[in-house]
Amino acid sequence: MDFYKILLSAHKGIGYLEILLVTLFVIALLTTMFGFSGKINKFLKKITLFTMIFFHVQFLAGIVLLLVSPGVKAALSSGTLMSDSYSRFQYVEHPSSMLIAAILMTVVYKKVKVNPTLSLTVVIMGLIAVSLFAYAFPWTRVFGA
């Protein structure tokens, strides 16, 4: 088994965990938002931290995958990177959306860590990060068609 397949399997496996973390993050975020006090609890802080960490780990693994991927090399050499919808999503839209989601999760974590109460700005940034994650996640490739 070569390095690319091992890294792809790890990236896919961490993706399953990321789905669980994102689900818990959304539940914790909305529970805190609709709670009576709006005070940020330890659970929200911890789940935001772990979600941010796994976003970054996934992104770094994805960048390495992008650099060693035979698909990127083939799409670049044939000139179909942007004209083929699969290649465009897999090698352009997916990494750029995940980068923006990771940056937003970092900002959300910093705000959750510092502020005692949850603001609407943090909720919106968190939901945008989750939306970008949901958009860019290759559902059919991971779970099959």
Q: How would DSSP label each residue in 73-132? A: HHHHHHT-TTTSHHHHIIIIIHHHHHHHHHHHHHHHHHHHHH-SB--HHHHHHHHHHHHH
Across the range 109-129, mean pLDDT stands at 93
User: Six-digit token pair at 129?
Assistant: 């990060």
pTM over 0.75: yes
User: Residue 112: its pLDDT value, please?
Assistant: 94
Share of the chain above pLDDT 70, in %: 97
* pLDDT of 20: 94
pLDDT of residue 46: 95
Q: pLDDT-based confidence at 145, cuts 50/70/90?
A: low
- Can you tell me the distance from the alpha carbon of 139 to that of 117, in angstroms, rounded to the nearest whole number? 34
The span from the CA of 97 to the CA of 131, in Å, is 10
Q: How confident is the model over 60-75, as a mean pLDDT? A: 89
Secondary structure of 12-75 in HEC code, one letter for each residue: HHHHHHHHHHHHHHHHHHHHHHHCCCCECCHHHHHHHHHHHHHHHHHHHHHHHHHHHCHHHHHH
Distance CA 33, CA 68 (A): 42
Average pLDDT over residues 23-32: 92
d(CA 132, CA 96): 10
The pLDDT tens digits for 74-118 are: 888 888 888 888 889 988 999 999 999 999 999 999 999 999 999
Query: Structural domain boundaries of the chain?
Result: 3-143
